[in-house]
């Protein structure tokens, strides 16, 4: 408890791996991740039962699958958190290349499951969404490029990272998956800012993104339909947004009671994209605030620890991972309360989905590894190594 309050001690040479890992780990962030996973299982007990009955499956079929995938994600997260920044960089780049090849294969072997966007590879017993696994690898790749560009005589890493971001955003937009494309672009902008990019350049990229959105509105019926539904001042009560809005209003501050909610019987995505509506209806604003507090704690603590980091790759990659994690949660909850157009994005560690929860485990494992307390060395020594 003392270390959780006053911070972990730096690693000492010769320590066994597990004691060193535990002493240097951000235990508050780890506890918050476990709390989010527990809340996800709790909400899944309510939200996924109607879907299981509709598909003639055991009542807790999806909860059991979520527990299994979540267990795998927690194990992956813990193993990843024990790695060094160099190992994180290598695995991240390899993971990016693997996910990138899968995304290239989607137009030929992918499926849309009737949702209008070819985002999944179906293996029969399980489906994979490559874009979920692409994000942490993309962050590691671009952070590597940007950190290399800061070295004397280094490559034009910022240009390489920009080209990688453009390619990935275009591939995701053609699925179409504008939500993930926006998240990838946002994480790149954050990392580029941390790496020292001029503000005017970032503003220029943001303007290009807005122009791309306008083009997508005219070229994609799928995208235009979601934007039109968002801009319509009247909410159709028979749409997913209508059901979610009504559920949040009905929940009030304390909720209607455990198992007493009705939105889970109307929303086909109540256990995934709109899980926060189930939480608001049955447990009220208190539960929603608790979930928000857990996400904020992870993001803020990670950023505060990264402020002390002098290694460029660790600082850039950690910032990208933390901000992408927080913004994905913000987008999911923003859609449910109609602050943002529908994006089809899960709530990390809370929504049902094997790809989502395992990819979140990888990303958080990388973030926990990068935010572990390490000896930073003297600034003069670091500058001497750079020369």
User: Does residue 276 sit within a domain?
Assistant: yes
Contact indicator for 332, 346 with CB cutoff of 8 Å: yes
Distance CA 17, CA 48 (A): 40
Contact indicator for 75, 356 with CB cutoff of 8 Å: no
CA atoms within 13 A on the CB side of 289: 7
pLDDT for res 2: 40
pLDDT for res 86: 94
Q: Using H for helix, E for strand and C for coil, what is the string for 97-159?
A: HHHHHHHHHHHHHCECCCCCCCCEEECCCCEECHHHHHHHHHHHHHHHHHHHHCCCCCCCHHH
Contact indicator for 306, 370 with CB cutoff of 8 Å: yes
Distance CA 44, CA 63 (A): 6
pLDDT band at residue 378 using 50, 70 and 90 as cut-offs:
very low
Distance CA 314, CA 320 (A): 10
The parent domain of residue 360 ranges over 26-371
pLDDT average, residue stretch 305-330? 94
**Computed over its alpha carbons, how large is the radius of gyration of the chain?**
21
CA dihedral sign of residues 59, 63, 67, 72: positive
User: Does residue 233 sit within a domain?
Assistant: yes
* The two three-digit tokens of residue 73, written as one number: 């994600």
* The two three-digit tokens of residue 23, written as one number: 């002493």
Say what the pTM is.
0.88
User: Does residue 2 sit within a domain?
Assistant: no
Tell me the per-residue pLDDT of 246-257, one tens digit each, with 9 for 90 and over.
888 888 888 888
Distance CA 33, CA 39 (A): 10
pLDDT average, residue stretch 259-273? 80
Contact indicator for 344, 273 with CB cutoff of 8 Å: yes
Contact indicator for 40, 68 with CB cutoff of 8 Å: no
Contact indicator for 66, 41 with CB cutoff of 8 Å: yes
User: Does residue 57 sit within a domain?
Assistant: yes
Q: Total structural domains in the chain?
A: 1
CB count in 10 Å sphere of residue 160: 17
User: Does residue 14 sit within a domain?
Assistant: no
pLDDT band at residue 233 using 50, 70 and 90 as cut-offs:
low
User: Does residue 3 sit within a domain?
Assistant: no
pLDDT band at residue 114 using 50, 70 and 90 as cut-offs:
low
């Amino acid at each position: 408890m003392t270390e959780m309050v006053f911070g972990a001690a730096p690693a000492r040479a010769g320590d066994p791996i597990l004691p060193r890992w535990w002493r240097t780990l951000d235990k508050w962030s780890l506890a918050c991740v476990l709390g989010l996973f527990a809340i996800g299982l709790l909400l899944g007990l309510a939200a996924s039962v109607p879907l299981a009955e509709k598909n003639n499956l055991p009542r807790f079929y999806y909860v059991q699958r979520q527990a299994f995938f979540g267990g795998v994600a927690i194990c992956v997260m813990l193993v990843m958190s024990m790695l060094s920044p160099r190992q994180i960089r290598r695995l991240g780049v390899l993971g990016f290349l693997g996910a990138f090849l899968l995304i290239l294969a989607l137009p030929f072997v992918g499926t849309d499951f009737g949702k209008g966007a070819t985002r999944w590879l179906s293996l029969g017993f399980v489906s994979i969404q490559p874009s979920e696994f692409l994000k942490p690898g993309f962050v590691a790749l671009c952070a590597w490029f940007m950190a290399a560009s800061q070295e004397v005589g280094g490559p034009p890493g910022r240009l390489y990272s920009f080209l990688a971001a453009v390619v990935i955003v275009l591939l995701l937009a053609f699925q179409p998956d504008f939500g993930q494309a926006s998240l990838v672009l946002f994480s790149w902008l954050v990392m580029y800012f941390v790496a020292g990019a001029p503000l005017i350049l970032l503003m220029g990229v943001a303007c290009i993104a807005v122009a791309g959105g306008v083009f997508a509105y005219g070229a994609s019926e799928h995208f235009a339909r979601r934007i039109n539904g968002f801009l319509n001042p009247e909410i159709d009560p028979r749409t997913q947004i209508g059901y979610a809005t009504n559920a949040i209003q009905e929940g009030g501050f304390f909720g209607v009671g455990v198992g007493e909610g009705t939105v889970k019987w109307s929303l086909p995505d109540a256990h995934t994209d709109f899980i926060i509506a189930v939480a608001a209806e049955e447990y009220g604003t208190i539960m929603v605030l608790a979930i928000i507090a857990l996400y904020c704690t992870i993001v803020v603590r990670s950023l505060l620890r990264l402020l002390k980091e002098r290694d460029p790759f660790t600082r850039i990659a950690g910032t990208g991972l933390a901000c992408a994690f927080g913004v994905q949660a913000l987008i999911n909850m923003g859609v449910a309360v109609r602050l943002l157009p529908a994006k089809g994005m899960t709530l990390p560690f809370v929504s049902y989905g094997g790809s989502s929860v395992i990819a979140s485990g990888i990303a958080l494992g990388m973030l926990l590894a990068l935010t572990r307390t390490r000896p930073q060395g003297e600034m003069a020594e670091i500058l001497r190594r750079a020369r």
